[in-house]
């Protein structure tokens, strides 16, 4: 049963898939991919272009679904729609950007070629926080490059995480069998989704705990598979002593509270130099007080509901953990349904379980440090390494700091919640493997096939 997290209203009832349904989906994808993999670049690009056009024409419908099903505020829903259209338009260029190579070889009369070919079938497991985009960033490039796809969306967002996209691609003229959706609990089809012999790659976005299992199954199952894992984060947002505080505050508020903090790139720890700490905190709290929370359909609302009661319970436990570890609460409030008001804490110890946890809720820990060296050390003292940010008015200083951060991405004078259709999106350490976006995803979703041609009769040793 699919429900609205703010109203509790039932949106749609969907029967769960079983192991037989999963096998049927993969087999259909395998069969359809054989012809799709040999389709012309024009044929594949045309489908992707039409899909983007349909997403534009159905803008309001898509945004409404993101608000109703994922609890997105209108601002976040509009942002997600925009980047989803963007990645679809980018993917439409991929059929014309897939190139092989002629390679030098030290053998007279012999030719060496590297062909770039589709992988075959790609399995996509997507999350509930940015369901449309975090599904489409794998689905659209995979299809554009000649693959077929089977999607398992998160249980909270089956429509925006898969079914809506499937309908859009159907309307865009994608041949049958190339995009299949299986909806069901992980306890029943989760392991089987990865272990099935058909997919050559599993693209997973979600928690580090589940990602570890997906990666393990992909490597130890009957057929070794490629994996792309975009996992948890604990992004540091660092404010150095020369930062423009007004700019840093506004960026930090967005980086922490956008979509109720339910973003893997969210600015999870705000690390502030002691010289500007008190002023930053004063301005930060003052600005957070102005944030309206409640019904995500209200365009003025900045913070809507968290996705489920399970998540709210976890956030309430995190608030208790903050108090137990000595953090001082400056702002907070009681939950109203699944809407948790923004919470701000100072005197946070970076070694505490509170600071080291991925919040995934509207809770902001602020950590005081002294100097760039300590700021960098604290920023890196985490098992995660997805996104990060640093604020300084000295660009060179910012670049030096950024290059010292153990993360896949660092944004100077901007918050940590950033993605680009052409950038190498991905993490280090326990935040994952592989890269999404641009040339990077093109290589992730294709394989190199080395072919040599001996034009002359060779000389053999025996």
Label residues 306-339 b or e (16+ Cβ within 10 Å = b).
bbbeebbeebeebbeebeebebeebbeeeeeebb
Residue 280 pLDDT level (bands cut at 50, 70, 90): very high
458 has pLDDT over 80:
no
Kindly report, residue by residue over 405-419, the tens digit of the pLDDT. Answer: 999 999 999 999 999
| SS3 at position 380 | helix
Is 60 designated active site? no
Containing H/E element for 50?
helix 41-57
Mean pLDDT over 115-129 rounds to 98
Is 188 designated active site? no
Q: Phi and psi for 230 in degrees, rounded to 5?
A: -110, 110
Kindly report, residue by residue over 57-75, the tens digit of the pLDDT. Answer: 999 999 999 999 999 999 9
Q: Give just the sign of the alpha carbon dihedral 225, 227, 40, 451.
A: negative
183 has pLDDT over 80:
yes
Which domains, from first to last, does the chain contain?
2-231+431-452 (3.40.605.10), 235-412 (3.40.309.10)
Contacts for 74 with CB less than 8 Å, ≥ 6 apart: 63, 67, 296, 297, 298, 299, 301
- Interatomic CA distance for residues 31 and 148, integer angstroms: 9
Kindly report, residue by residue over 326-342, the tens digit of the pLDDT. Answer: 999 999 999 999 999 99
461 has pLDDT over 90:
no
Q: How is residue 16 annotated by DSSP?
A: P
For the whole model, what pTM was predicted?
0.96
Check residue 320 and give left, alpha or beta (phi > 0: left; psi -120 to 50: alpha). alpha
Report the pLDDT value the prediction gives residue 462, as an integer from 0 to 100: 85
Q: Which of 69, 80, 90, 230 is catalytic?
A: 230
- Interatomic CA distance for residues 366 and 253, integer angstroms: 12
Report the pLDDT value the prediction gives residue 1, as an integer from 0 to 100: 86
Q: Which of 69, 80, 264, 444 is catalytic?
A: 264
Q: How is residue 204 annotated by DSSP?
A: E
Question: Which string of DSSP letters, residue by residue, matches 252-319?
Answer: HHHHHHGGGG-STTSEEEEEEEHHHHHHHHHHHHHHHHT--BS-TTSTT-SB---S-HHHHHHHHHHH
| SS3 at position 410 | coil
Kindly report, residue by residue over 374-389, the tens digit of the pLDDT. Answer: 999 999 999 999 999 9
Residue 108 pLDDT level (bands cut at 50, 70, 90): confident
28 has pLDDT over 80:
yes
């Amino acid at each position: 049963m699919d429900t609205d997290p703010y109203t509790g209203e039932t949106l749609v009832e969907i029967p769960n898939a079983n192991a037989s349904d999963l096998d049927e989906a993969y087999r259909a994808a395998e069969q359809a991919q054989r012809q799709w993999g040999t389709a012309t670049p024009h044929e594949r690009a045309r489908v992707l272009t039409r899909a983007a056009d349909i997403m534009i024409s159905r803008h309001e419908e898509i945004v409404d679904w993101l608000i109703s099903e994922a609890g997105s505020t209108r601002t976040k829903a509009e942002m997600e729609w925009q980047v989803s259209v963007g990645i679809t338009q980018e993917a439409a260029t991929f059929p014309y950007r897939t190139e092989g190579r002629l390679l030098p070889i030290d053998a007279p009369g012999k030719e060496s070629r590297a062909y770039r070919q589709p992988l075959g079938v790609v399995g996509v497991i997507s999350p509930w926080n940015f369901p449309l985009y975090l599904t489409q960033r794998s689905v659209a490039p995979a299809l554009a490059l000649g693959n077929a796809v089977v999607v398992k969306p998160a249980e909270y967002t089956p429509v925006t995480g898969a079914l809506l996209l499937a309908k859009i691609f159907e309307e865009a003229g994608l041949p049958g069998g190339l995009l299949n959706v299986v909806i069901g609990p992980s306890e029943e089809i989760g392991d089987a989704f990865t272990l099935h012999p058909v997919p050559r790659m599993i693209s997973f976005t979600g928690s580090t705990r589940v990602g570890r299992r997906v990666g393990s199954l992909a490597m130890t199952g009957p057929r070794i598979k490629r994996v792309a894992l975009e996992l948890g984060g604990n992004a540091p947002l660092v404010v150095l002593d020369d930062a423009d505080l007004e700019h840093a505050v506004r960026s930090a508020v967005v980086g922490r509270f956008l979509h109720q903090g339910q973003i893997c790139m969210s600015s999870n720890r705000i690390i502030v130099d002691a010289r500007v700490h008190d002023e930053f905190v004063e301005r930060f709290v003052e600005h957070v007080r102005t944030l309206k929370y409640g019904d995500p359909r209200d365009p003025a609302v900045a913070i809507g509901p968290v996705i489920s009661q399970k998540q709210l319970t976890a956030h309430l436990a995190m608030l208790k953990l903050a108090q137990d570890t000595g953090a001082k609460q400056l702002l907070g409030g009681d939950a109203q349904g699944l809407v948790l008001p923004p919470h701000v804490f100072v005197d946070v110890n970076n070694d505490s379980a509170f600071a080291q946890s991925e919040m995934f809720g509207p809770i902001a820990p602020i950590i005081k440090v002294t100097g760039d060296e300590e700021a960098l050390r604290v920023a890196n003292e985490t098992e995660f390494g997805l996104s990060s940010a640093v604020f300084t008015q000295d660009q060179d200083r910012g670049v030096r700091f950024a290059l010292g951060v153990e993360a896949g991405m660092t944004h100077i004078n901007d918050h940590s919640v950033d993605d680009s259709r052409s950038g190498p999106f991905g993490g280090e350490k326990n935040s994952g493997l592989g890269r999404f976006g641009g040339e990077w995803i093109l290589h992730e979703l294709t394989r190199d096939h080395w072919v040599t041609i001996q034009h002359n009769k060779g000389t053999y040793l025996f």
